[in-house]
Protein backbone atom coordinates (compact mmCIF):
# COMPACT_ATOMS: atom_id res chain seq x y z
CA UNK A 1 0.00 0.00 0.00
CA UNK A 2 3.05 2.31 0.08
CA UNK A 3 3.42 2.31 -3.71
CA UNK A 4 1.91 5.33 -5.51
CA UNK A 5 -1.65 4.77 -6.75
CA UNK A 6 -2.08 5.03 -10.53
CA UNK A 7 -5.18 7.14 -11.26
CA UNK A 8 -7.99 4.99 -12.54
CA UNK A 9 -9.39 5.78 -15.98
CA UNK A 10 -13.19 5.67 -16.08
CA UNK A 11 -15.00 5.73 -19.40
CA UNK A 12 -18.52 7.16 -19.56
CA UNK A 13 -20.50 6.42 -22.73
CA UNK A 14 -23.83 8.08 -23.44
CA UNK A 15 -25.59 6.11 -26.19
CA UNK A 16 -28.33 8.40 -27.50
CA UNK A 17 -29.27 9.44 -31.00
CA UNK A 18 -30.74 12.71 -29.74
CA UNK A 19 -27.94 13.68 -27.35
CA UNK A 20 -25.25 12.93 -29.94
CA UNK A 21 -27.11 15.02 -32.54
CA UNK A 22 -27.32 17.93 -30.10
CA UNK A 23 -31.15 17.77 -29.97
CA UNK A 24 -30.98 17.73 -26.22
CA UNK A 25 -28.33 17.98 -23.59
CA UNK A 26 -26.80 14.82 -22.18
CA UNK A 27 -27.59 14.74 -18.47
CA UNK A 28 -26.88 11.03 -17.89
CA UNK A 29 -23.15 11.16 -18.61
CA UNK A 30 -22.59 14.08 -16.18
CA UNK A 31 -24.70 12.23 -13.56
CA UNK A 32 -22.32 9.25 -13.76
CA UNK A 33 -19.30 11.54 -13.56
CA UNK A 34 -20.78 13.28 -10.50
CA UNK A 35 -21.42 9.92 -8.84
CA UNK A 36 -17.76 8.91 -9.00
CA UNK A 37 -16.67 12.37 -7.86
CA UNK A 38 -18.79 11.88 -4.76
CA UNK A 39 -17.97 8.23 -4.01
CA UNK A 40 -14.30 7.61 -4.89
CA UNK A 41 -11.44 8.63 -2.58
CA UNK A 42 -8.67 7.55 -4.98
CA UNK A 43 -7.54 9.62 -7.99
CA UNK A 44 -9.29 9.05 -11.31
CA UNK A 45 -9.76 10.60 -14.72
CA UNK A 46 -12.98 10.53 -16.78
CA UNK A 47 -13.14 9.78 -20.52
CA UNK A 48 -16.52 10.97 -21.82
CA UNK A 49 -18.13 9.86 -25.11
CA UNK A 50 -21.54 10.87 -26.50
CA UNK A 51 -22.46 8.62 -29.41
CA UNK A 52 -25.51 7.53 -31.44
CA UNK A 53 -27.42 4.43 -30.39
CA UNK A 54 -26.56 1.29 -32.31
CA UNK A 55 -24.50 -1.84 -32.31
CA UNK A 56 -21.36 -0.65 -34.12
CA UNK A 57 -21.10 2.71 -32.37
CA UNK A 58 -21.33 1.24 -28.88
CA UNK A 59 -19.07 -1.75 -29.60
CA UNK A 60 -16.36 0.36 -31.23
CA UNK A 61 -16.47 3.01 -28.50
CA UNK A 62 -16.02 0.41 -25.75
CA UNK A 63 -13.12 -1.20 -27.59
CA UNK A 64 -11.47 2.19 -28.08
CA UNK A 65 -11.96 3.18 -24.43
CA UNK A 66 -10.37 -0.05 -23.21
CA UNK A 67 -7.64 -0.65 -25.77
CA UNK A 68 -6.60 2.93 -26.61
CA UNK A 69 -7.69 5.15 -23.71
CA UNK A 70 -6.71 2.49 -21.16
CA UNK A 71 -9.94 2.46 -19.15
CA UNK A 72 -10.20 0.37 -15.97
CA UNK A 73 -13.96 0.78 -15.78
CA UNK A 74 -16.50 1.77 -18.45
CA UNK A 75 -20.08 2.82 -17.71
CA UNK A 76 -22.64 3.09 -20.49
CA UNK A 77 -26.00 4.82 -20.23
CA UNK A 78 -28.95 4.23 -22.56
CA UNK A 79 -29.95 1.62 -25.10
CA UNK A 80 -30.87 -1.32 -22.84
CA UNK A 81 -34.63 -1.50 -23.42
CA UNK A 82 -36.98 -3.13 -25.95
CA UNK A 83 -36.91 -0.40 -28.63
CA UNK A 84 -35.45 -1.30 -32.01
CA UNK A 85 -32.48 1.06 -31.55
CA UNK A 86 -31.65 -0.26 -28.06
CA UNK A 87 -28.55 -2.34 -28.81
CA UNK A 88 -26.18 -1.48 -25.96
CA UNK A 89 -26.16 -4.93 -24.27
CA UNK A 90 -25.51 -6.76 -27.55
CA UNK A 91 -22.73 -4.31 -28.42
CA UNK A 92 -21.23 -4.62 -24.94
CA UNK A 93 -21.00 -8.41 -25.22
CA UNK A 94 -19.43 -8.08 -28.66
CA UNK A 95 -16.66 -5.92 -27.15
CA UNK A 96 -16.49 -7.65 -23.76
CA UNK A 97 -17.54 -11.28 -24.12
CA UNK A 98 -17.12 -12.44 -20.51
CA UNK A 99 -20.39 -11.63 -18.75
CA UNK A 100 -21.00 -11.33 -14.99
CA UNK A 101 -24.68 -12.21 -14.66
CA UNK A 102 -24.81 -11.13 -11.01
CA UNK A 103 -24.53 -7.45 -11.95
CA UNK A 104 -27.58 -7.44 -14.20
CA UNK A 105 -29.57 -9.48 -11.66
CA UNK A 106 -28.65 -7.13 -8.82
CA UNK A 107 -29.29 -3.89 -10.73
CA UNK A 108 -32.68 -5.13 -11.96
CA UNK A 109 -33.62 -6.26 -8.45
CA UNK A 110 -32.71 -2.82 -7.10
CA UNK A 111 -34.65 -1.02 -9.85
CA UNK A 112 -37.61 -3.34 -9.37
CA UNK A 113 -38.14 -1.93 -5.90
CA UNK A 114 -38.91 1.38 -7.64
CA UNK A 115 -40.65 0.39 -10.86
CA UNK A 116 -42.12 -2.83 -12.30
CA UNK A 117 -40.74 -2.04 -15.76
CA UNK A 118 -37.22 -2.74 -14.46
CA UNK A 119 -37.65 -6.24 -15.94
CA UNK A 120 -37.50 -4.66 -19.41
CA UNK A 121 -33.87 -3.66 -18.90
CA UNK A 122 -31.33 -5.95 -20.53
CA UNK A 123 -28.43 -4.16 -18.78
CA UNK A 124 -25.39 -6.32 -18.02
CA UNK A 125 -21.76 -6.17 -16.97
CA UNK A 126 -18.88 -7.82 -18.78
CA UNK A 127 -15.12 -7.88 -18.97
CA UNK A 128 -12.74 -6.82 -21.75
CA UNK A 129 -9.11 -7.47 -20.83
CA UNK A 130 -8.55 -5.84 -17.45
CA UNK A 131 -11.60 -3.59 -17.70
CA UNK A 132 -15.12 -3.95 -16.29
CA UNK A 133 -17.93 -2.62 -18.50
CA UNK A 134 -21.31 -1.91 -16.89
CA UNK A 135 -24.56 -0.94 -18.64
CA UNK A 136 -26.63 1.63 -16.76
CA UNK A 137 -30.16 2.87 -17.52
CA UNK A 138 -30.88 6.26 -19.03
CA UNK A 139 -32.46 8.27 -16.23
CA UNK A 140 -30.15 9.94 -13.67
CA UNK A 141 -32.21 8.73 -10.71
CA UNK A 142 -31.98 5.12 -11.91
CA UNK A 143 -28.25 5.54 -12.57
CA UNK A 144 -27.54 6.33 -8.92
CA UNK A 145 -29.77 3.50 -7.76
CA UNK A 146 -28.01 0.96 -9.97
CA UNK A 147 -24.50 2.16 -9.10
CA UNK A 148 -25.34 2.07 -5.38
CA UNK A 149 -26.49 -1.54 -5.76
CA UNK A 150 -23.21 -2.83 -7.24
CA UNK A 151 -20.50 -0.38 -6.13
CA UNK A 152 -19.46 -2.28 -2.97
CA UNK A 153 -18.18 -5.09 -5.21
CA UNK A 154 -16.47 -3.00 -7.90
CA UNK A 155 -13.11 -2.21 -6.17
CA UNK A 156 -12.42 -5.89 -5.47
CA UNK A 157 -13.58 -6.82 -8.98
CA UNK A 158 -11.07 -4.40 -10.53
CA UNK A 159 -8.35 -5.77 -8.23
CA UNK A 160 -9.03 -9.35 -9.38
CA UNK A 161 -8.97 -8.22 -13.01
CA UNK A 162 -5.62 -6.49 -12.54
CA UNK A 163 -7.04 -2.99 -13.13
CA UNK A 164 -6.19 0.19 -11.19
CA UNK A 165 -6.97 0.31 -7.49
CA UNK A 166 -10.00 2.36 -6.47
CA UNK A 167 -11.34 3.01 -2.99
CA UNK A 168 -14.72 4.36 -1.90
CA UNK A 169 -15.78 6.80 0.77
CA UNK A 170 -17.43 4.59 3.41
CA UNK A 171 -20.00 7.30 4.13
CA UNK A 172 -21.46 6.42 0.72
CA UNK A 173 -20.26 2.92 -0.15
CA UNK A 174 -18.70 0.37 2.21
CA UNK A 175 -16.56 -1.52 -0.33
CA UNK A 176 -15.82 -5.14 0.43
CA UNK A 177 -12.50 -6.93 0.03
CA UNK A 178 -12.07 -10.38 1.62
CA UNK A 179 -9.31 -10.70 4.20
CA UNK A 180 -6.35 -12.63 2.83
CA UNK B 1 -55.78 8.18 -27.28
CA UNK B 2 -58.58 9.32 -29.63
CA UNK B 3 -57.46 7.00 -32.44
CA UNK B 4 -59.25 3.64 -32.59
CA UNK B 5 -57.42 0.87 -30.76
CA UNK B 6 -56.38 -2.09 -32.95
CA UNK B 7 -57.28 -5.33 -31.15
CA UNK B 8 -54.16 -7.05 -29.87
CA UNK B 9 -53.46 -10.55 -31.15
CA UNK B 10 -52.33 -12.89 -28.39
CA UNK B 11 -50.88 -16.29 -29.25
CA UNK B 12 -51.22 -19.14 -26.75
CA UNK B 13 -49.04 -22.19 -27.40
CA UNK B 14 -49.47 -25.40 -25.40
CA UNK B 15 -46.36 -27.54 -25.93
CA UNK B 16 -47.33 -31.05 -24.79
CA UNK B 17 -46.97 -34.43 -26.45
CA UNK B 18 -49.95 -35.79 -24.55
CA UNK B 19 -52.29 -32.84 -25.03
CA UNK B 20 -51.53 -32.63 -28.76
CA UNK B 21 -52.16 -36.39 -29.12
CA UNK B 22 -55.51 -36.02 -27.37
CA UNK B 23 -54.39 -38.25 -24.44
CA UNK B 24 -55.56 -35.58 -22.06
CA UNK B 25 -57.31 -32.27 -22.27
CA UNK B 26 -55.24 -29.09 -22.43
CA UNK B 27 -56.09 -27.04 -19.37
CA UNK B 28 -53.07 -24.69 -19.47
CA UNK B 29 -53.94 -22.96 -22.73
CA UNK B 30 -57.50 -22.15 -21.56
CA UNK B 31 -56.07 -20.93 -18.23
CA UNK B 32 -53.91 -18.39 -20.08
CA UNK B 33 -56.86 -17.32 -22.23
CA UNK B 34 -59.02 -16.88 -19.10
CA UNK B 35 -56.27 -14.79 -17.47
CA UNK B 36 -56.26 -12.24 -20.28
CA UNK B 37 -60.06 -12.21 -20.38
CA UNK B 38 -60.00 -11.19 -16.73
CA UNK B 39 -57.13 -8.70 -16.79
CA UNK B 40 -57.26 -6.80 -20.10
CA UNK B 41 -59.64 -3.89 -20.69
CA UNK B 42 -58.66 -3.37 -24.34
CA UNK B 43 -59.93 -5.55 -27.22
CA UNK B 44 -57.91 -8.64 -28.13
CA UNK B 45 -58.15 -11.87 -30.08
CA UNK B 46 -56.60 -15.21 -29.05
CA UNK B 47 -54.73 -17.53 -31.44
CA UNK B 48 -54.54 -20.98 -29.79
CA UNK B 49 -52.09 -23.75 -30.79
CA UNK B 50 -51.69 -27.18 -29.18
CA UNK B 51 -48.50 -28.83 -30.44
CA UNK B 52 -46.07 -31.63 -29.51
CA UNK B 53 -43.05 -30.84 -27.36
CA UNK B 54 -39.82 -30.36 -29.27
CA UNK B 55 -37.49 -27.81 -30.76
CA UNK B 56 -38.85 -27.59 -34.32
CA UNK B 57 -42.53 -27.62 -33.37
CA UNK B 58 -42.20 -24.78 -30.85
CA UNK B 59 -39.85 -22.66 -32.97
CA UNK B 60 -41.99 -22.97 -36.11
CA UNK B 61 -45.21 -22.26 -34.22
CA UNK B 62 -43.79 -19.07 -32.69
CA UNK B 63 -42.53 -17.88 -36.07
CA UNK B 64 -45.91 -18.57 -37.64
CA UNK B 65 -47.81 -16.80 -34.87
CA UNK B 66 -45.65 -13.69 -35.19
CA UNK B 67 -45.03 -13.50 -38.94
CA UNK B 68 -48.32 -14.89 -40.31
CA UNK B 69 -50.94 -14.50 -37.58
CA UNK B 70 -49.56 -11.08 -36.57
CA UNK B 71 -49.31 -11.70 -32.82
CA UNK B 72 -48.32 -8.86 -30.49
CA UNK B 73 -47.75 -11.20 -27.56
CA UNK B 74 -47.17 -14.96 -27.47
CA UNK B 75 -47.41 -17.07 -24.33
CA UNK B 76 -46.14 -20.64 -24.28
CA UNK B 77 -46.90 -23.23 -21.62
CA UNK B 78 -44.88 -26.39 -21.00
CA UNK B 79 -41.43 -27.67 -21.91
CA UNK B 80 -39.20 -25.50 -19.71
CA UNK B 81 -37.86 -28.14 -17.29
CA UNK B 82 -34.97 -30.64 -17.21
CA UNK B 83 -36.67 -33.51 -19.09
CA UNK B 84 -35.20 -34.53 -22.42
CA UNK B 85 -38.29 -33.35 -24.35
CA UNK B 86 -38.35 -29.94 -22.61
CA UNK B 87 -37.05 -27.72 -25.39
CA UNK B 88 -39.32 -24.68 -25.27
CA UNK B 89 -36.68 -22.12 -24.12
CA UNK B 90 -34.18 -23.20 -26.77
CA UNK B 91 -36.89 -23.08 -29.43
CA UNK B 92 -38.07 -19.67 -28.23
CA UNK B 93 -34.59 -18.18 -28.56
CA UNK B 94 -34.24 -19.69 -32.03
CA UNK B 95 -37.42 -17.84 -33.07
CA UNK B 96 -36.91 -14.73 -30.92
CA UNK B 97 -33.20 -14.15 -30.34
CA UNK B 98 -33.38 -10.99 -28.23
CA UNK B 99 -33.81 -12.12 -24.64
CA UNK B 100 -35.08 -10.07 -21.68
CA UNK B 101 -33.40 -11.76 -18.70
CA UNK B 102 -35.47 -9.81 -16.19
CA UNK B 103 -38.63 -11.75 -17.06
CA UNK B 104 -37.13 -15.16 -16.28
CA UNK B 105 -35.53 -13.83 -13.10
CA UNK B 106 -38.81 -12.29 -11.91
CA UNK B 107 -41.00 -15.29 -12.74
CA UNK B 108 -38.60 -17.72 -11.04
CA UNK B 109 -38.39 -15.46 -7.98
CA UNK B 110 -42.20 -15.37 -7.79
CA UNK B 111 -42.49 -19.15 -8.20
CA UNK B 112 -39.73 -19.73 -5.65
CA UNK B 113 -41.95 -18.25 -2.96
CA UNK B 114 -44.23 -21.26 -3.57
CA UNK B 115 -41.87 -24.11 -4.44
CA UNK B 116 -38.09 -24.68 -4.29
CA UNK B 117 -38.12 -26.50 -7.63
CA UNK B 118 -38.80 -23.17 -9.36
CA UNK B 119 -35.04 -23.02 -9.99
CA UNK B 120 -35.46 -25.92 -12.45
CA UNK B 121 -37.48 -23.73 -14.80
CA UNK B 122 -35.56 -22.35 -17.75
CA UNK B 123 -38.50 -20.11 -18.77
CA UNK B 124 -37.55 -16.85 -20.49
CA UNK B 125 -38.96 -13.97 -22.48
CA UNK B 126 -37.68 -12.76 -25.82
CA UNK B 127 -38.56 -10.56 -28.76
CA UNK B 128 -39.30 -11.41 -32.38
CA UNK B 129 -39.93 -8.30 -34.45
CA UNK B 130 -42.60 -6.32 -32.63
CA UNK B 131 -43.80 -9.28 -30.56
CA UNK B 132 -42.97 -10.33 -26.99
CA UNK B 133 -42.76 -14.10 -26.40
CA UNK B 134 -43.01 -15.36 -22.81
CA UNK B 135 -42.51 -18.95 -21.58
CA UNK B 136 -44.89 -19.98 -18.80
CA UNK B 137 -44.84 -23.16 -16.71
CA UNK B 138 -47.30 -26.01 -17.22
CA UNK B 139 -49.59 -25.89 -14.20
CA UNK B 140 -52.51 -23.42 -14.23
CA UNK B 141 -51.77 -22.20 -10.69
CA UNK B 142 -48.15 -21.39 -11.64
CA UNK B 143 -49.32 -19.73 -14.85
CA UNK B 144 -51.37 -17.14 -12.95
CA UNK B 145 -48.53 -16.58 -10.48
CA UNK B 146 -46.00 -15.96 -13.26
CA UNK B 147 -48.30 -13.71 -15.28
CA UNK B 148 -49.14 -11.68 -12.17
CA UNK B 149 -45.41 -11.16 -11.54
CA UNK B 150 -44.66 -9.62 -14.96
CA UNK B 151 -47.93 -8.21 -16.25
CA UNK B 152 -47.45 -4.65 -14.90
CA UNK B 153 -44.52 -4.24 -17.32
CA UNK B 154 -46.07 -5.86 -20.41
CA UNK B 155 -48.20 -2.95 -21.75
CA UNK B 156 -45.21 -0.56 -21.77
CA UNK B 157 -43.00 -3.27 -23.23
CA UNK B 158 -45.39 -3.78 -26.16
CA UNK B 159 -45.56 0.01 -26.63
CA UNK B 160 -41.76 0.27 -26.86
CA UNK B 161 -41.69 -2.61 -29.33
CA UNK B 162 -44.31 -0.94 -31.53
CA UNK B 163 -46.94 -3.64 -30.90
CA UNK B 164 -50.67 -3.09 -30.26
CA UNK B 165 -51.71 -1.11 -27.22
CA UNK B 166 -53.10 -3.10 -24.32
CA UNK B 167 -54.42 -1.83 -20.97
CA UNK B 168 -55.10 -3.72 -17.78
CA UNK B 169 -57.86 -3.53 -15.22
CA UNK B 170 -56.22 -1.85 -12.21
CA UNK B 171 -58.23 -4.05 -9.84
CA UNK B 172 -55.99 -6.91 -11.01
CA UNK B 173 -52.84 -5.35 -12.47
CA UNK B 174 -51.63 -1.77 -12.03
CA UNK B 175 -49.73 -1.40 -15.29
CA UNK B 176 -46.83 1.05 -15.31
CA UNK B 177 -45.95 3.56 -18.01
CA UNK B 178 -43.41 6.27 -17.23
CA UNK B 179 -44.61 9.86 -17.58
CA UNK B 180 -43.23 11.50 -20.70
CA UNK C 1 -40.07 -47.64 -4.33
CA UNK C 2 -39.66 -51.40 -3.83
CA UNK C 3 -36.94 -51.68 -6.48
CA UNK C 4 -33.34 -51.52 -5.19
CA UNK C 5 -31.80 -48.06 -5.29
CA UNK C 6 -28.70 -47.71 -7.49
CA UNK C 7 -26.03 -45.77 -5.59
CA UNK C 8 -25.67 -42.26 -7.04
CA UNK C 9 -22.25 -41.30 -8.37
CA UNK C 10 -21.26 -37.77 -7.34
CA UNK C 11 -18.27 -36.10 -8.96
CA UNK C 12 -16.35 -33.46 -7.01
CA UNK C 13 -13.93 -31.30 -9.02
CA UNK C 14 -11.51 -28.92 -7.34
CA UNK C 15 -10.20 -26.50 -9.98
CA UNK C 16 -7.10 -24.92 -8.44
CA UNK C 17 -3.59 -24.44 -9.79
CA UNK C 18 -2.15 -24.44 -6.28
CA UNK C 19 -4.08 -27.41 -4.90
CA UNK C 20 -3.32 -29.54 -7.95
CA UNK C 21 0.41 -28.64 -7.70
CA UNK C 22 0.41 -29.66 -4.05
CA UNK C 23 1.23 -26.09 -2.88
CA UNK C 24 -1.64 -26.28 -0.44
CA UNK C 25 -4.12 -28.86 0.66
CA UNK C 26 -7.52 -28.97 -1.01
CA UNK C 27 -10.12 -28.27 1.65
CA UNK C 28 -13.02 -27.40 -0.70
CA UNK C 29 -13.38 -30.87 -2.24
CA UNK C 30 -13.54 -32.58 1.18
CA UNK C 31 -16.07 -29.94 2.32
CA UNK C 32 -18.38 -30.90 -0.56
CA UNK C 33 -17.92 -34.60 0.19
CA UNK C 34 -18.73 -33.99 3.87
CA UNK C 35 -21.86 -32.05 2.91
CA UNK C 36 -23.33 -34.98 1.00
CA UNK C 37 -22.32 -37.40 3.77
CA UNK C 38 -24.39 -35.30 6.14
CA UNK C 39 -27.39 -34.58 3.93
CA UNK C 40 -28.09 -37.67 1.80
CA UNK C 41 -29.93 -40.72 3.15
CA UNK C 42 -29.56 -42.79 -0.04
CA UNK C 43 -26.34 -44.64 -0.99
CA UNK C 44 -23.76 -42.77 -3.06
CA UNK C 45 -20.14 -42.93 -4.16
CA UNK C 46 -17.82 -39.91 -4.59
CA UNK C 47 -15.45 -39.43 -7.56
CA UNK C 48 -12.87 -36.79 -6.57
CA UNK C 49 -10.67 -34.86 -9.02
CA UNK C 50 -8.14 -32.13 -8.20
CA UNK C 51 -7.09 -30.34 -11.39
CA UNK C 52 -5.43 -27.08 -12.54
CA UNK C 53 -7.62 -24.09 -13.35
CA UNK C 54 -8.33 -23.59 -17.02
CA UNK C 55 -10.81 -24.22 -19.79
CA UNK C 56 -9.55 -27.54 -21.16
CA UNK C 57 -8.87 -29.17 -17.79
CA UNK C 58 -12.32 -28.39 -16.39
CA UNK C 59 -14.21 -29.25 -19.58
CA UNK C 60 -12.40 -32.56 -20.09
CA UNK C 61 -12.78 -33.55 -16.43
CA UNK C 62 -16.54 -32.95 -16.50
CA UNK C 63 -16.91 -34.93 -19.72
CA UNK C 64 -14.90 -37.80 -18.23
CA UNK C 65 -16.88 -37.79 -14.99
CA UNK C 66 -20.19 -37.96 -16.85
CA UNK C 67 -19.39 -40.18 -19.82
CA UNK C 68 -16.82 -42.57 -18.27
CA UNK C 69 -17.33 -42.48 -14.49
CA UNK C 70 -21.13 -42.33 -14.89
CA UNK C 71 -21.79 -39.41 -12.57
CA UNK C 72 -25.37 -38.36 -11.79
CA UNK C 73 -24.28 -35.09 -10.21
CA UNK C 74 -21.00 -33.14 -10.54
CA UNK C 75 -19.99 -30.29 -8.24
CA UNK C 76 -17.08 -28.05 -9.12
CA UNK C 77 -15.32 -25.67 -6.74
CA UNK C 78 -13.17 -22.72 -7.79
CA UNK C 79 -12.62 -20.71 -10.93
CA UNK C 80 -15.86 -18.71 -11.14
CA UNK C 81 -14.53 -15.18 -10.48
CA UNK C 82 -13.06 -12.36 -12.57
CA UNK C 83 -9.41 -13.49 -12.53
CA UNK C 84 -7.83 -14.42 -15.84
CA UNK C 85 -7.51 -18.12 -14.86
CA UNK C 86 -11.14 -18.37 -13.67
CA UNK C 87 -12.66 -20.35 -16.52
CA UNK C 88 -14.88 -22.90 -14.79
CA UNK C 89 -18.26 -21.53 -16.00
CA UNK C 90 -17.12 -21.34 -19.63
CA UNK C 91 -15.70 -24.87 -19.40
CA UNK C 92 -18.87 -26.16 -17.76
CA UNK C 93 -21.05 -24.83 -20.58
CA UNK C 94 -18.69 -26.36 -23.15
CA UNK C 95 -19.22 -29.78 -21.51
CA UNK C 96 -22.85 -29.27 -20.48
CA UNK C 97 -24.53 -26.83 -22.85
CA UNK C 98 -28.04 -26.79 -21.34
CA UNK C 99 -28.00 -24.17 -18.62
CA UNK C 100 -30.45 -23.76 -15.71
CA UNK C 101 -30.27 -20.03 -14.95
CA UNK C 102 -32.29 -20.40 -11.74
CA UNK C 103 -29.41 -22.14 -9.96
CA UNK C 104 -26.92 -19.33 -10.51
CA UNK C 105 -29.53 -16.72 -9.59
CA UNK C 106 -30.45 -18.55 -6.37
CA UNK C 107 -26.87 -19.23 -5.27
CA UNK C 108 -25.83 -15.63 -5.89
CA UNK C 109 -28.89 -14.35 -4.01
CA UNK C 110 -28.02 -16.60 -1.06
CA UNK C 111 -24.36 -15.52 -1.08
CA UNK C 112 -25.36 -11.86 -1.41
CA UNK C 113 -26.94 -12.01 2.03
CA UNK C 114 -23.40 -12.62 3.33
CA UNK C 115 -21.15 -10.59 1.03
CA UNK C 116 -21.68 -7.93 -1.66
CA UNK C 117 -18.96 -9.47 -3.86
CA UNK C 118 -21.30 -12.41 -4.55
CA UNK C 119 -22.25 -10.57 -7.76
CA UNK C 120 -18.73 -11.33 -9.07
CA UNK C 121 -19.46 -15.05 -9.17
CA UNK C 122 -20.32 -16.43 -12.58
CA UNK C 123 -21.28 -19.82 -11.12
CA UNK C 124 -23.97 -21.73 -13.00
CA UNK C 125 -25.63 -25.12 -13.32
CA UNK C 126 -26.03 -27.08 -16.52
CA UNK C 127 -26.91 -30.50 -17.85
CA UNK C 128 -24.82 -33.07 -19.73
CA UNK C 129 -26.87 -36.14 -20.67
CA UNK C 130 -28.53 -37.34 -17.47
CA UNK C 131 -26.15 -35.47 -15.17
CA UNK C 132 -26.50 -32.11 -13.40
CA UNK C 133 -23.29 -30.06 -13.11
CA UNK C 134 -23.17 -27.26 -10.51
CA UNK C 135 -20.42 -24.67 -10.02
CA UNK C 136 -19.69 -23.83 -6.38
CA UNK C 137 -17.44 -21.11 -4.96
CA UNK C 138 -14.04 -21.82 -3.44
CA UNK C 139 -14.48 -21.22 0.27
CA UNK C 140 -15.98 -24.04 2.39
CA UNK C 141 -18.38 -21.71 4.19
CA UNK C 142 -19.76 -20.43 0.86
CA UNK C 143 -19.99 -24.00 -0.45
CA UNK C 144 -22.40 -25.02 2.31
CA UNK C 145 -24.42 -21.84 1.85
CA UNK C 146 -24.79 -22.40 -1.90
CA UNK C 147 -25.63 -26.10 -1.57
CA UNK C 148 -28.22 -25.34 1.11
CA UNK C 149 -29.85 -22.81 -1.22
CA UNK C 150 -30.42 -25.29 -4.10
CA UNK C 151 -30.45 -28.75 -2.55
CA UNK C 152 -34.23 -28.97 -2.03
CA UNK C 153 -34.64 -28.98 -5.82
CA UNK C 154 -31.80 -31.37 -6.73
CA UNK C 155 -33.48 -34.77 -6.08
CA UNK C 156 -36.45 -33.91 -8.32
CA UNK C 157 -34.10 -32.44 -10.93
CA UNK C 158 -32.12 -35.69 -11.10
CA UNK C 159 -35.39 -37.65 -11.33
CA UNK C 160 -36.56 -35.57 -14.31
CA UNK C 161 -33.17 -36.04 -15.99
CA UNK C 162 -33.33 -39.81 -15.53
CA UNK C 163 -30.36 -39.91 -13.12
CA UNK C 164 -30.08 -41.99 -9.94
CA UNK C 165 -32.57 -41.39 -7.15
CA UNK C 166 -31.28 -39.47 -4.15
CA UNK C 167 -33.11 -38.53 -0.96
CA UNK C 168 -32.21 -36.02 1.72
CA UNK C 169 -32.41 -36.06 5.48
CA UNK C 170 -35.30 -33.69 6.25
CA UNK C 171 -33.49 -32.46 9.36
CA UNK C 172 -31.11 -30.71 6.94
CA UNK C 173 -32.94 -30.37 3.62
CA UNK C 174 -36.65 -30.79 2.95
CA UNK C 175 -36.48 -31.97 -0.65
CA UNK C 176 -39.48 -31.20 -2.83
CA UNK C 177 -41.16 -33.51 -5.31
CA UNK C 178 -44.57 -32.51 -6.71
CA UNK C 179 -47.43 -34.94 -6.09
CA UNK C 180 -48.37 -36.81 -9.24
CATH number reported for the structural domain that contains residue C150 in this entry: 3.40.980.10
Tell whether A155 is covered by a domain.
Answer: yes
* Minimum mean pLDDT range among A116-130, B112-126, C166-180: C166-180
Mean pLDDT for A66-86 is 97
Tell whether A27 is covered by a domain.
Answer: yes
Distance (Å, whole) CA A79 – CA A137? 8
Contacts of C12 (CB under 8 A, 6+ apart): C29, C32, C33, C46, C47, C48, C49, C74, C75, C77
Indicate whether C3 pLDDT > 70: no
Tell whether C167 is covered by a domain.
Answer: no
Bridge partners for C127 per DSSP:
C98, C132
Residue B180 has a pLDDT of 62
Mean pLDDT for A158-167 is 97
Mean pLDDT for A34-42 is 98
C-chain residues within 8 Å CB-CB of B121?
A: 102
> Does the beta carbon of B108 lie under 8 angstroms from any beta carbon of chain C?
yes
pLDDT tens digits, one per residue of C105-139:
999 999 999 999 999 999 999 999 999 999 999 98
Distance (Å, whole) CA C25 – CA B63? 54
Indicate whether B153 pLDDT > 60: yes
> Interface pTM (ipTM) of the complex?
0.94
pLDDT tens digits, one per residue of C88-111:
999 999 999 999 999 999 999 999
Does B3 or C155 have the greater pLDDT score?
C155
Mean pLDDT for A91-104 is 98
Indicate whether A130 pLDDT > 80: yes
**Best interface-test mutation with C: which of A102, A130, A132 has the largest number of C CBs within 10 A?**
A102
Q: Which domain holds residue B22?
A: 8-161
With H, G, I as helix, E, B as strand and everything else as coil, classify residue B88: helix
B-chain residues within 8 Å CB-CB of A105?
A: 101, 105
Residue A146 has a pLDDT of 98
Cβ of B7: how many Cβ atoms within 10 Å? 13
pLDDT tens digits, one per residue of B55-114:
999 999 999 999 999 999 999 999 999 999 999 999 999 999 999 999 999 999 999 999
Of the candidates C82, C109, C124, which has its C-beta nearest A160's C-beta? C82
Tell whether C68 is covered by a domain.
Answer: yes
Q: At what angle are helices C140-150 and C28-39 packed, to 10 degrees?
A: 40
Distance (Å, whole) CA B137 – CA B40? 21
> Does the beta carbon of C110 lie under 8 angstroms from any beta carbon of chain B?
no
Of the candidates A83, A90, A121, which has its C-beta nearest B102's C-beta? A121
CB contact under 8 A, C157 and B82: yes
Residue C179 has a pLDDT of 75
Mean pLDDT of chain A: 95
pLDDT tens digits, one per residue of A79-91:
999 999 999 999 9
Count of domains observed in chain A: 1
Residue A169 has a pLDDT of 98
Does B141 or C72 have the greater pLDDT score?
C72
User: C137-144 contacts: CB < 8 A, separation 24 or more?
Assistant: C137/C77, C137/C78, C137/C80, C137/C111, C138/C16, C138/C28, C138/C77, C138/C78, C138/C79, C138/C80, C139/C28, C140/C27, C140/C28, C140/C31, C142/C111, C142/C114, C143/C28, C143/C31, C143/C32, C143/C35, C143/C77, C144/C31, C144/C35
* Single pTM value for the model: 0.96
Tell whether C118 is covered by a domain.
Answer: yes
Mean pLDDT for A142-148 is 97
Please report, for residues A109, B2, B27, B99, B155, the alpha-carbon distance to residue B8 in angstroms, rounded to integers and kept in the order given: 30, 17, 23, 22, 11
Indicate whether A42 pLDDT > 60: yes
Residue A179 has a pLDDT of 75
Of the candidates B82, B101, B121, which has its C-beta nearest C127's C-beta? B82
Q: How confident is the model at residue A178 (pLDDT cuts 50, 70, 90)?
A: confident
Cβ of B107: how many Cβ atoms within 10 Å? 29
Mean pLDDT of chain B: 95
Find out whether B160 and B4 touch, Cβ atoms under 8 Å.
no
Indicate whether A55 pLDDT > 70: yes
Phi, psi of A100 (to 5 degrees): -115, 95
Q: How confident is the model at residue B119 (pLDDT cuts 50, 70, 90)?
A: very high
* Minimum mean pLDDT range among A18-22, B42-46, C172-176: A18-22
Amino acid sequence: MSEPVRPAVIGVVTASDRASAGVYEDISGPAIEAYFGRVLTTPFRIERRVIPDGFDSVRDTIIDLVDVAGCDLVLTTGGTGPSARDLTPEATLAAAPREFPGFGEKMRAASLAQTPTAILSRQLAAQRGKCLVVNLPGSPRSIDLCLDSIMAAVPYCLELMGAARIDTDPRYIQAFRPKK
